[in-house]
Amino acid sequence: MTDLSRFPITQKWPAQHPDRLQLYSLPTPNGVKVSIMLEETGLAYEPHLVSFETHDQMSPEFLSLNPNNKIPAILDPDGPGGKPLALFESGAILLYLADKTGKLIPQDAAGRYETIQWLMFQMGGIGPMFGQLGFFNKFAGKDYEDKRPRDRYVAESKRLLGVLDKHLANRAWIMGDDYTIADIASFPWIRNLIGFYEAGDLVGFSEFKNVARVLETFVARPAVVKGLGIPKRG
């Protein structure tokens, strides 16, 4: 049986099945990228809830795996060379799981780089900009009298949605006919922007018909429906 005891994170979140991939997460837009990917690929995994209510992400055990105190993170007992691999950053995890399984990323070099390009577009654009918009629209930032910070993120989010909408015209998914990790990275954030962040009207979401069409197909996938609820909140 695999021994994961040298990883301090397993002291706070013991592995019942140390031979399975260990997921440390919460069902946020970044967290569900990985649970959806795991559901889509069919890899065996064991989810562990990292609760923000109890600041679990700041615990020494969590920081031993991710010094950046953010979910999601994984510990794969069967990493490269058969050795355990610990990883954080959802984009890196998606790419790792796609390479490990040979799924959800094109196998030709050009298609692979194009997928990574759109993955980076999400990681460097959609995620950070939508996240700031959420802060200024729904959370502490909504009480600021000066609306210029909010409006800056509204404008940038609209611009990014416009880029994606144009790209999706006549395409089923970001990479055309192939559903990939670029979709898994992006659509949980779009769902969150118009759902939990309540920013649909602010960004004029009804203009982005192609984004809305693909989002609808995405959220109907059985693996997405399942992944959106993993790990179960306590």
Ligand X SMILES: N[C@@H](CCC(=O)N[C@@H](CS)C(=O)NCC(=O)O)C(=O)O
Residues in touch with ligand X (CB under 6 A): 28-30, 52, 57, 69-72, 89-91
How near is the Cβ of 206 to ligand X at its closest, in Å?
A: 26
How near is the Cβ of 82 to ligand X at its closest, in Å?
A: 26
Decide whether 18 or 134 has the Cβ nearer to ligand X: 134
How near is the Cβ of 223 to ligand X at its closest, in Å?
A: 19
How near is the Cβ of 232 to ligand X at its closest, in Å?
A: 16
Q: What is the DSSP letter of 27?
A: S
| Contacts for 100 with CB less than 8 Å, ≥ 6 apart | 43, 76
How near is the Cβ of 123 to ligand X at its closest, in Å?
A: 6
Decide whether 87 or 203 has the Cβ nearer to ligand X: 87
Decide whether 47 or 91 has the Cβ nearer to ligand X: 91
**HEC readout, 65-110:** HCCCCCCCEEEECCCHHHCCEEEECHHHHHHHHHHHHCCCCCCCHH
In angstroms, rounded to a whole number, what is the distance separating the alpha carbons of residues 37 and 101? Answer: 11
**Beta strand spans in 62-163 (E):** 73-76, 85-88
Decide whether 18 or 73 has the Cβ nearer to ligand X: 73
Q: What is the DSSP letter of 125?
A: I
Decide whether 28 or 132 has the Cβ nearer to ligand X: 28
How many C-beta atoms surround the C-beta of residue 139 within 10 A?
10
